[in-house]
Amino acid sequence: MMKILIVEDEFVSRTLLQEIFSPYGVCHAASNGLECLAAFQKGLDENKRYDLICLDIMMPEMDGQQALKKIREIEQERGIGGKDLVKVIMVSALGDAKNIMKSFMKGQCEAYLTKPIDSEKVIATCVKLGLISE
Ligand SMILES: [Mg+2]
């Protein structure tokens, strides 16, 4: 079973993602970047790491881009690399496509999805990343 962190400020999208992922593992939810980092660090501290973080870009307090940057910094500080790096799927509105691409091109995230969230695309992306089998 996977351990998944869904980071999304909108209730409807967050709930939808939780429903999509619930058959595949344990889903935790955060509503901004700060909560995301708190959950991520807790997972590392307790040695119960997340396998996947689904990260929205536009969020209050701390956005997805900043959170992603911090996640990768924390992993580096802790000597986490290669296969142990958490897989990150960026999820955002079409208007943010340029931002998503920036992260994707830098190799900071493994995949990106645009809203509206399509459950088949979400699952297909996880299959492609080797997180779930067909
Ligand atoms: Mg948002």
| Residue-wise pLDDT tens digits, 81-94 | 999 999 999 998 86
Cα(76) to ligand 1 centroid in Å equals 27
Place of tokens 């980071």: 7
- For position 40, what pLDDT does the model report? 98
Higher-pLDDT residue of 128, 105: 128
What single-letter amino acid sits at 21? Answer: F
Res. 44: pLDDT tops 70? yes
The confidence score (pLDDT) of residue 24 equals 95
Burial code (b: 16+ CB inside 10 Å, e: under 16) for 53-66 equals: bbbbbebeebbbbb
The boundaries of the domain holding residue 31 are 2-128
Cα separation, 131 vs 127, in Å, equals: 6
Residue 134 lies in a domain: no
The answer to whether residue 133 sits within a structural domain is no
Distance 81 CA to ligand 1 centre (A): 28
pLDDT score of 81: 95
Over residues 53-68, the mean pLDDT reads 93
Structurally, the chain folds into a number of domains equal to 1
Between the CA of 79 and the centroid of ligand 1 the distance, in Å, is 30
C-alpha of residue 93 to centroid of ligand 1, in Å: 8
% pLDDT > 70, the chain: 93
| CATH number of the CATH domain containing 10 | 3.40.50.2300
CA of 55 to the centre of ligand 1 (A): 9
Residue 105: the pLDDT is 67
- Mean pLDDT rounded to a whole number for the chain: 92
Contacts 24+ apart (CB under 8 A), 10-16: 10/56, 13/56, 13/91, 13/115, 13/117, 16/117, 16/119
Q: What is the pLDDT of residues 103-124, one digit of tens each?
A: 676 778 898 888 899 999 999 9
pLDDT of residue 119: 96
